[in-house]
Amino acid sequence: MAESRNGQVRADSRRNRAAIVTAARAAVAELGDKVSLEQIARLAQVNTRTLFRHFPTKDDLLAAVLEDYFAERVEPVLRRAAADPDPRRALETVLTESTTAFVEQPGVLALISGGARTSGIAPRYLEPLAEILTRARKAGAVRDDLTPDDIPCLVTMLVAGASHAGPDWPRYLALVLDSLPPEAARAPLPPISR
């Protein structure tokens, strides 16, 4: 009987955690990271004590939102791109789908501020991205001076442009994609200062 009760408590805890992360994602989409934990608790239909038991700090909760969104929207793109035999198309897939994911949820992109929130996610994004980019460079599909650090910057730039261009943002994505082949390079890129 105690075992059955413990199983129910664990199930309730998982449900509460999922409800909190779902509510936080919705709140972040609407209000960005300025949303209060009390607002999120109300949306999740839990009390603040329950919220704090799962997420002791706001940064812990926002990191969970990033983790959830990354697992749902970005990791599948990276897996699909890694499996694509065409290295240029693989890189285009990453740029297109990553940009689309963040255009759809600009509040999530705003959460990416480095530090603790992205410490576990960044390597999981950059490592497969580096492999995809290395494959594209070896195939001569992209310029040699493009680095894995350039890709998140390009995505951020495209998402920022989407707020200005609205539904026409794919035009600027096409412009960026056209600049990637070696024959499009008129001069080497300036070195990264770090």
pLDDT tens per residue, range 146-194 = 998 898 888 888 888 888 888 888 999 999 999 999 998 889 889 888 6
Which amino acid type is present at position 145? D
CA nearest 135: which of 79, 75, 90? 90
Count of domains forming the chain: 2
Residues of the domain holding 15: 1-56
Residue 33: pLDDT above 90? no
Are residues 74 and 140 located together in one domain of the fold? yes
Report yes or no: 145 and 188 within 8 Å, Cβ to Cβ. yes
Residue pLDDT, tens place only, 85-115: 999 999 999 999 988 988 888 777 777 755 5
Mark whether 19 and 82 lie in a shared domain.
no
Average the pLDDT over 54-83 and give the result. 92
Q: Give the per-residue pLDDT at 138.
A: 95
Residue 147 placed within a domain = yes
CATH of the domain at 81: 1.10.357.10
Tell me, what amino acid is at 30? E
- Mark whether 30 and 86 lie in a shared domain: no
**Reported confidence tier of residue 123, pLDDT bands at 50, 70, 90:** confident
- What letter represents residue 68's amino acid? D
| Mean pLDDT, all residues of the chain | 87
Question: Higher model confidence: residue 36 or residue 30?
Answer: 36
Encode 20-58: b = buried (16+ Cβ within 10 Å), e = exposed.
bbebbbbbbbeeebebebeebbebbebeeebbeebbeee
For 120, the 3-state DSSP assignment is: coil
pTM flag (> 0.85): no
As a whole number of angstroms, the distance between CA 128 and CA 152 comes to 13
Q: Report the distance separating Cα 152 and Cα 130, nearest Å.
A: 11
